[in-house]
Amino acid sequence: MGNLLIILGVLFLLLIVAVPLIERFGGKQSDADISKMSRYILPLIALLLVLQAIRHFFF
């Protein structure tokens, strides 16, 4: 139980530090950039489902 609390504490502190740094130094994305990336989401989800089905039924 002690190890779990230590791990959760470290992750929480990292989250508190990482989020402001990412917001400050992360590049701004335009709507065009987001729409270019979003067209790949559904095919990647479909590929993931197929691969998970293969893994489930054959391995």
For the stretch 2-53, pLDDT in tens is: 899 999 999 999 999 999 998 888 878 787 888 888 899 999 999 999 999 9
Q: Quote the domain boundaries for residue 22.
A: 2-58
Q: What tokens were used for 39?
A: 């067209």
Between CA 23 and CA 17 the distance in angstroms is 11
Between CA 18 and CA 14 the distance in angstroms is 6
Q: Distance of CA 38 to CAs 6, 31, 32, 43, Å?
A: 37, 10, 10, 10
Q: How many domains does the chain have?
A: 1
Structure pTM? 0.51
